[in-house]
Structure 1
Amino acid sequence: MSLSFKRVGAMMLRYSYLLRASRTRILDMIYWPTVQLLTWGFLQTYLVRGGALAEPGGATQAAGTLIGAILLWDILLRGQQGFCFSFIEEMWSRNLPNILMSPLRPVEFVASLVAMSLIRLAVGVLPVTIMAIFFFGFNLWALGVAFAAFFVVLMFFAWSVGLLVSGILLRYGLGAENLVWSLMFCVQPLGAVYYPVTTLPTWLQPISWSLPPTYVFEGLRGVLIDHVVRWDLLAQGLAIDVFLFAAASAAFGLFLQSARRAGTLLQTGE
């Protein structure tokens, strides 16, 4: 069997043209290594400084905090993706124009996506919280009212991101599909998921405090380590949520109008 380097070069040239024509593909290649570096680099910084491990019983507290953070992060991520998956399935099936031409109002469409987000979340996360009890002795439900408050703040943020991403998909088609999976991970290193906000560089901390999940994960550490429910933090996170949800709803409406004017609703490819 002979190998033609000319034909191999031709295929490589084709793929390089694809990369050059799609900024989202290039960004995706840079994005994931950056997120991984920041997330685990800041966690290492927190552990090197001592953190909760330096205190008596700190290892147990740190383990519980880590498991709790993983579960809450999964709720946030699955909430956003559950919202977007229901939306993007309409694009995959080329059914979105039919829905938008029907008597269905945008607010009703969004309400159905919110409901499906909750259903998908229950199916995916509920068994995991039960497994955490049996395998690791960590009961997220035992947090009671605090857990309910965490859930509300996280879900409103998840729906805000889901609305924004869905609007972008409406306007720019499936070329922006990667945002469904990747955008929320941008929040992970900045949202103080696995370490306190004080671990971040000083110039990044204001950005962290502008994100509602930060208030939830700081609140989680307050409950598990200090045994105090920080209602002040949760109230601030909810206030930012209300603003972001309103802004995302307005952006969704603007993207929908723009898509109708540009005639992109019937062209949902890349």
Structure 2
Amino acid sequence: MLYSRTGAGIPEYRSISPARTFAMIQRYTYLLRSSWPRVLELIYWPTVQMLMWGFLQLYLNEQSGFIAGAGSVFIGSVLLWDILFRGQLGFSISFLEEMWARNIGNLMMTPLRPAEFIAALMGMSVIRLAIGLVPVTAMAYAFFSFNLWSLGLVLVAFFANLILTSWAIGIAVSGLVLRQGLGAETLAWSLTFLLLPLTCVYYPVAVLPEWLQTIAWMLPPTYVFEGMRAVLIDGVFRADLMIWALGLNAVLITGASVLFVALFNASRSAGSLLALGE
């Protein structure tokens, strides 16, 4: 038997199927392919940000020498920030599309398990991120001679930690929207921006007041952006920062997953999966 039935008459599946996860990724991929505006949006905003900050950096370099030696810190910050923001948005948008279509209840009546659903959303966030990131990094090289891919294995460490943080935020937000309804969907668009000043994307942690530095060091992306500046300015890879970020991400992913399961079970017990709305 693949599953047993709970007292509520809802099947509880005991095994996780990669095939079901892949089927969900295929579903979202077909949806993305069928709409060129969706694909264009994935490239449009990262391009605008990269060009804006890139030209600003060129202007500052011409006007003064206060950032001499800083290399392409602004452009690197923009591209790494997009990994965090677009990774979370790619996760949340796929989830919200099911909410907008009022299809969550239908999915949960299939053999699909919540863990498989989350895994599919993770996979889709990487696909959506790649669609936007690859052409934008090519333009960064063409316009500003900044090659993000030249970082090699360092980029892998940066990417892994940022995408894990984005997934943790996406999982937590999805759980809240699942329990509270579409009235909470604003969190999917705005919550990550709360991290923008706290994770020191464009400036070092030392700029913050001492009490705020403590909060900043509790957030995994802070270690990534500090590590990026160490690489681009000092030419040093801080492995210790990446290890700290990985440990904090493990805590965040675990906590977000527990929260999602708790909110999912609460929503199922309340019978609200089929009546999700504002």
- Same-fold call, TM cutoff 0.5: yes
Counterpart AA for 1:92: W
Q: Deviations over 1:25-76 (max 9, x none)?
A: xxxxxxxxxxxxxxxxxxxxxxxxxxxx9xx965344451011000000111
Match of 1:221 in 2: 229
Match of 2:72 in 1: 64
Match of 2:273 in 1: 265
Between structures 1 and 2, the one with greater helix share: 1
Separation of aligned partners in 2, 1:63 and 1:81: 29
Match of 2:208 in 1: 200
Residue 182 of structure 1 pairs with residue 190 of structure 2: yes
Match of 2:21 in 1: none
Separation of aligned partners in 1, 2:212 and 2:180: 30
Match of 1:236 in 2: 244
Output the aligned Cα RMSD: 1.4
The residue correspondences of 1:24-103 to structure 2 (distance < 5 A) are 59-62=67-70, 64-103=72-111
Match of 1:138 in 2: 146
Uncovered stretches (5+) of structure 1, i.e. residues with no partner: 1-52
- Secondary structure of 1:119's counterpart equals helix
Q: Deviations over 1:122-176 (max 9, x none)?
A: 0011110110000011111111111110000000000000000000011001000
Uncovered stretches (5+) of structure 2, i.e. residues with no partner: 1-60
Separation of aligned partners in 1, 2:275 and 2:145: 50
Counterpart AA for 1:116: M
Match of 1:156 in 2: 164
* Greater Cα radius of gyration, structure 1 or 2: 1
User: Which residue among 245, 253, 256 is the counterpart of 1:248?
Assistant: 256
Cα drift, residue 263 of structure 1: 2.0
Q: TM-score, with normalisation over the residues of structure 1?
A: 0.78
Separation of aligned partners in 1, 2:191 and 2:138: 28
Separation of aligned partners in 1, 2:215 and 2:91: 25
Q: Deviations over 1:231-261 (max 9, x none)?
A: 0001000000011101100000000011112
- Secondary structure of 1:59's counterpart equals coil
